[in-house]
Structure 1
Amino acid sequence: MFGITPYRGWRRGMPSEFRWDIDRMFDSMLQEFDDIDSYHPLRVDIKEKDKEYVLEAEIPGVDKDDILLELKDNVLTIAVERKEEVNEEKENYIRRERRYGSFRRSFYVDDVDQDKIKAKFKNGVLKVKLPKKESIPPKENRIPIE
């Protein structure tokens, strides 16, 4: 199982068999619309390396100060507030495709060293390094029998 997966909070209290049935049903219904995720304003790539996970999110057109990166209850959240610049003069747009507002992505993060997470924002890409916890082999605890 992967240590980092997209977080879907609404599914929290559902029995797992029911949840998987619903997932399969929607996956089959929406299979034709696989590209629909590509329209999300925060596109994310997640790579697993030997000692860490690396998350890269495309967030063009925002300042570093407009990004909130937060880890709470094993959920890593990237939140962005893209503010619209309002000019006093009226502009006659023919087409306006750039979006403004709040965007958010959350991922369930497991088995990472929370104190060593590092993030860097450069050229519109947020790069988050999530070091894996050192795996400690289980200690054999032999109990003597009297």
Structure 2
Amino acid sequence: MFGLSPYNRRNREMMNRPSDFFNFDNFSNFIDSFFNTDFFPQVQNVGQMKVDIKEKDNKYILEAELPGVNKDEITLELRNDMLTISVEKNEQIEETKENYIRKERRYGSQSRSFYVENVKAEDIKANFENGILSISLPKKEVKPNSNRKIDIN
């Protein structure tokens, strides 16, 4: 079974043109199509947490896309003006039918950190709904600089 490799029309067309095989664009397409067939399970992009940060008058809003993640798998931490979002996923699937047993285990973790200064740490609020983690970071009141010209004698 391990000697088998998916073979589809797109791969066959590329192999018919050996001079194009070493073209990086075609080689990249070959590799992508090899792993994106039904022969291999779909591989998730681990470590690619997509985050949007918006600034409002009185707060920052950070939204992180975490599809397929449960709320209890998320850790949110603020330490030394560094906000860290961590996700740790540990999944085990065991399926038994008449003549076969299937066991799969997947483990993955990812994290992103953001430097956030001038925020009220005690007023930070987070909400997780439909795979979107939304974090509200209220701004501290910034006092305007009191500039004063100093005379030199």
Structure 2 stretches of 5 or more lacking a match? 1-44, 149-153
Task: Find the partner of 1:127 among 131, 134, 137.
Answer: 134
> Structure 2-normalised TM-score?
0.57
Report which structure shows greater RCO (CA 8 Å, sep ≥6): 1
Letter in 1 for 2:110: F
Letter in 1 for 2:62: L
Identical columns (%): 52
For residue 83 of structure 1, what is the aligned residue in structure 2?
A: 90
Contact 2:120 2:139 in 1 (8 A): yes
Query: Structure 1 stretches (4+) deviating beyond 6 angstroms?
Result: none
Matched, 1:61 2:60: no
Structure 1 stretches of 5 or more lacking a match? 1-38, 94-98, 142-146
Instruction: Indicate how the Cα distance of structure 1 residues 122 and 82 shifts in structure 2: closer, same or farther if over 3 A, else same.
Output: same
State the shift of 1:62 in Å. 1.4
Number of aligned residues: 100
Higher strand share: 2
State the superposition RMSD in angstroms: 2.5
> Structure 1-normalised TM-score?
0.60
Partners of 2:144 and 2:48 in 1: how far apart? 41
Partners of 1:138 and 1:126 in 2: how far apart? 35
Higher Rg? 2
> After the TM superposition, which residues 17-32 of structure 1 pair with which residues of structure 2 at under 5 Å, given as runs?
none
